[in-house]
Structure 1
Amino acid sequence: MTHDWRVDRLDRIRELIKEAEPDVVEENKWRKPSNPDGVPTFSLDGLICTLEMYQGKVKLTFARGASIDDPDKLFNASLQAGVRRAIDLREDDELDPEAFKDLIRAAVKANRGK
């Protein structure tokens, strides 16, 4: 069995989220027969984002992404959604760690009404 690059990517994203906001709580929600492990969710004063693996990509969906400034243009999916925004990452896509951590911090501020 070959190693799945998506697992490493998820692990790195988890590290970045914890670096940005050490008090973040990770939980697996929405378990179902087709996805018995559920969906990893990250919360602090409300839902920040979900992290999912799809064929060929990893998807980070920010629950309140439409209300978060994204000066580095990390959001590249769900751009027309009313409330959420997402980042789709394929195997060779780079994710700027500092810009991503800034986005996590902005999501927490949005949850806190700031």
Structure 2
Amino acid sequence: MTKSGLKDSGETHPSQLIDAKIRELSDWRGETLARVRGLVRQADPEVVEEWKWRGVPVWSHTGIICTGETYKNVVKMTFAKGAALEDPKGLFNSSLEGNTRRAIDFHQGDKIDEEALKALVRAAVALNTSVQTTMRSRRKPNSA
């Protein structure tokens, strides 16, 4: 059970668990998580919401796009394959040392560059889709 009383055992839809988490936070972190969630959904209307690792909202489309973790002083949006994404607006400001992930830490009062964030989400979806397409084409038997 989460603090909100919802079970995370698959009995409750992940979107409901994310709604409950936002309500439970009831401060700037909840507002920021809700805003980020809305931008992800705008950028990719086909996004699938998941609830993993005992309370982390996850947005996927042919693989994980990003997560929305909340901490005492930050809302962290981690892109699973962020190191492979172009970031022309320099949104990534955390987890920069690894070879795979990249994150954006939002602090209280930070302004979100909505268009740049939606562009990152779309790029992550395009990367997931291209990787999946490449994997499928490699598995097809040669008909020659």
The answer to whether the superposition gives a TM-score over 0.5 is: yes
Long gaps (5+) in structure 1: 32-37
Aligned to 1:106: 123
Query: CA–CA distance in 2 between the matches of 1:22 and 1:97?
Result: 16
Q: Does 1:55 align with 2:72?
A: yes
Q: TM-score, normalised by structure 2?
A: 0.72
Q: Determine which structure has more spread, i.e. the larger CA radius of gyration.
A: 2
5+ residue gaps, structure 2: 1-24, 132-144
Higher relative contact order (CA 8 A, sep 6+): 1
1:25 corresponds to 2:48 = yes
Q: Percent identity over the alignment?
A: 52
Kindly indicate which of the two structures has a greater share of residues assigned to helix. 2
Per the alignment, do residues 111 and 8 of structure 1 end up closer, same or farther by CA in structure 2, a change over 3 Å counting? same
Deviation at 1:3, TM superposition (A): 4.3
Root-mean-square deviation over aligned CA pairs? 1.3
Question: Which residue in 1 is equivalent to 2:37?
Answer: 14
User: What TM-score results when the alignment is normalised by the length of structure 1?
Assistant: 0.90
Where has structure 1 moved over 6 Å in runs of 4 or more? none
Structure having the higher strand fraction is 1
- Name the structure 1 match of 2:110: 93
Q: Distance in 2 between matches of 1:3 and 1:105?
A: 29
Among candidates 91, 94, 115, match of residue 74 of structure 1: 91
Paired positions, count: 107
Q: 2:5 aligns to what?
A: none
1:42 counterpart = 2:65: no
